Amino acid sequence: MTAKRSDAITQGFERTPHRALLKGTGLPDSSMNRPFIGIATSFTDLIPGHTGMRELERFIEKGVHTGGGHAFFFGIPGVCDGIAMGHKGMHYSLPTRELIADMIESVAEAHRLDGLVLLTNCDKITPGMLMAAARLDIPCIVVTAGPMMTGTGRQGRRFSFVTDTFEAMARYKAGVIDEKELMQCEEHACPTAGSCQGLFTANTMAILTETLGMSLLGCGTALAVSSLKKRIAFASGERIVELVRDNITPRQILTKAAFENAIRVDLALGGSSNTVLHLLSIAREAGVDLPLEEFDRLGRTTPQLASMNPGGKHFMEDLDAAGGVAAVLYQLRDLIQDNPTLTGLSTQQIIASVADVDEEVVHPVSDPIRAEGGLAILSGNLAPDGAVVKQSGVSEKMMRFSGKARCFESEEAAMTALMGGQVVAGDVVVIRYEGPKGGPGMREMLAPTATLMGLGLGDSVALITDGRFSGGTRGPCIGHVSPEAAVGGPIALVEDGDTIELDIPNRALKLQVDDVVLAERRARWSRPEPKIKTGWLARYAAVVTSANTGAICKAD
């Protein structure tokens, strides 16, 4: 093996103080020349997806030492989007992605680590870790901790987090279910450790991490409570030492082809709309040009092959049993580009190794769920720089819709109106000043979207926002409207009663107001006072970019 990064703190008489400090941690002389492997762990007692990580840490550490390296743990924070939802806490969720990338960069560079195992699971933590891997470009491998199992009920009922908490809350409010059933939902919705059971953001990002080639085979879908996940953790510890010795780094894996493959898998499964933000940001760190329009270009030729919860019937445990990511790649084989992965196999070699696919869960291209992929990029005079809709969760009836605007300056105001019965069929709910700058932090709004569905308005009311949605969102909900209201985007100029037209097949989002009238409104518009003026979020709002560029932080 050639010179290691860690030689800068272990070699030569000038490094006597450094070695003394390392010995102070308990490092023996026998490990001084081994590859130093950092294990960035986002373990926390606060998030169900992360509570099981202590065991995975043990297996990763065993693998590192078996492979001939020496492991060092360091902690990375995590936010549970479900717990942060619907209050001030959600302002902090997306911004933590930047903090996570910065923290990993800081620790790895300050301590000259030779390689990293990135132990992650939930929504912003996985993309933050991938951003750090691409930025550092030192050997890295990602271990996603895996999804939880569905809850079980009578007569084969399966419970899951979003439909049996957020949507159940609205059904209770509407009198569809009673308090006893609501409490059953609360008890059974999250029965084990792991990320939430459907194809929400955490699980979508785990799948895309494997598709990108940054985690071992099966890691993206293996259940958090499975022994397979432990074996993958051990093998990942062994593999990182090999990656260091062979100097295989993320930018060799994260090519334009890798990102296009990941987008196609995302589209085929009908994944979370948040992946648009995250893939754009990871690509930027990897030095790959990935414009927003790529999602729509690929979506036109990538069929949706799976019916995944929350918009469909299957859960992560079903996808795992059906063959996982490899099965999806196999079904998309004629659309997938060959690309290296850190497993040592190329994508086409992985496809060639697939022996069986459960086609009830992952359909063949010849028998798709829908002809187009799960995400669509819309544009028009209401969203000149684009907007995102998870069309896999939209009914055929709502693919084209025209309604009257009901404008709200915050998520809280919209929720008050929804729960008070003030939103009716034919309305288009507009929630603005919730973008990256205006929020700040581009809050995820699962509560309003789940409330719409729970109140039975999913086929008669649309929702449009410069904020974003949970991966658990379904229905005619259009997010990431760019430019956002806080910078004077057209969404800031909408008034109650304006007609808004949604045409997903033609990728159009239009405000039916004359340009002259809009110009008059713009002349009257003034930038509102920031919602948060102190602390980290005030600094974030000053440097964050628009959603159509991934909501990244730039100093210039």
Q: Which residues, other chains included, contact 389 with Cβ-Cβ below 8 Å and sequence gap of 6+? A: 273, 375, 376, 378, 476, 477, 478, 479, 504
Q: Is 470 a catalytic residue?
A: yes
Q: Which residues, other chains included, contact 120 with Cβ-Cβ below 8 Å and sequence gap of 6+? A: 40, 42, 76, 126, 129, 142, 143, 144, 145
- Parallel, antiparallel or unpaired: strands 375-380 and 477-479: unpaired
Token pair listed for 495: 């008034």
> Is 45 known as a binding-site position?
no
**What count of other Cβ atoms lies within 10 Å of the Cβ of residue 154?**
6
Token pair listed for 253: 């894996």
> Is 114 known as a binding-site position?
no
Question: How many Å apart are CA 246 and CA 76, to the nearest integer?
Answer: 27
SS3 119: strand
Question: Which amino acid, residue 281?
Answer: S
> Is 285 known as a binding-site position?
no
Torsion of CA 239, 241, 242, 248, to 10 degrees: 100
> Is 256 known as a binding-site position?
no
At CA 234, angle to CA 214 and CA 53, rounded to 5? 85
Which member of 236, 470, 482, 546 is catalytic?
470
Side-chain-side CA neighbours of 85 within 13 Å: the count stands at 22
Torsion of CA 288, 554, 527, 434, to 10 degrees: 60
Question: How many Å apart are CA 309 and CA 153, to the nearest integer?
Answer: 17
| Residues flagged as binding site | 81, 123-124, 444
Q: Which residues belong to the active site?
A: 470
| Residues flagged as binding site for Mg(2+) | 81, 123-124, 444
